[in-house]
């Protein structure tokens, strides 16, 4: 089945220790998104790629970076995680403008 895959599902990192979350898709979608979702809150868009074009939300902290080496993969790098970065991180894809987004199962990040 075509899908959006996120690894790992649960990630524990130490305060200040860089961490990378990964997302892959078999849908061959042009657009890939990264969201941060804290407990009982709406998903908050961090950035998205339209093909290779990177789009950063204005309020996304510099601590968060992303890479999309090819159509199928997208990575979220958190350079120096703080306790406030503990959250569920959701990856999503979309065919393009005006189409629904397909979400992965998420990676729950814990910062100790």
Partner 1 sequence: AQSVTQLDSQVPVFEEAPVELRCNYSSSVSVYLFWYVQYPNQGLQLLLKYLSGSTLVKGINGFEAEFNKSQTSFHLRKPSVHISDTAEYFCAVGPSGYSTLTFGKGTMLLVSP
Residues that bind partner 1 (CB under 8 A): 4, 6, 31, 33, 40-43, 45, 48, 50, 55, 88, 90, 92, 94, 96-98, 100-106, 108
Q: What's the closest the beta carbon of residue 31 comes to partner 1, in angstroms?
A: 5
> Among residues 74 and 92, whose Cβ is nearest to partner 1?
92
**Separation CA 22–CA 78 (nearest Å):** 12
For the beta carbon of residue 34, count every other beta carbon within 10 angstroms: 24
> Among residues 61 and 96, whose Cβ is nearest to partner 1?
96
Q: What's the closest the beta carbon of residue 87 comes to partner 1, in angstroms?
A: 13
Burial (0-12, 13-18, 19+ Cβ within 10 Å), 109: buried
């Amino acid at each position: 089945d075509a899908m959006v895959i996120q690894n790992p599902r649960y990630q524990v990192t130490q305060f200040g220790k860089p961490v990378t979350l990964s997302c892959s898709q078999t849908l061959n979608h042009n657009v890939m998104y990264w969201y941060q979702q804290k407990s009982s809150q709406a998903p908050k868009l961090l950035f998205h790629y339209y093909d290779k074009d990177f789009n950063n939300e204005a309020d996304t902290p510099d601590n968060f970076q992303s890479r999309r080496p090819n159509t199928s993969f997208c990575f979220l790098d958190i350079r120096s995680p703080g306790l406030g970065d503990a959250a569920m991180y959701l990856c999503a894809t979309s065919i393009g403008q005006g189409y629904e987004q397909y979400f992965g199962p998420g990676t729950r990040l814990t910062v100790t």
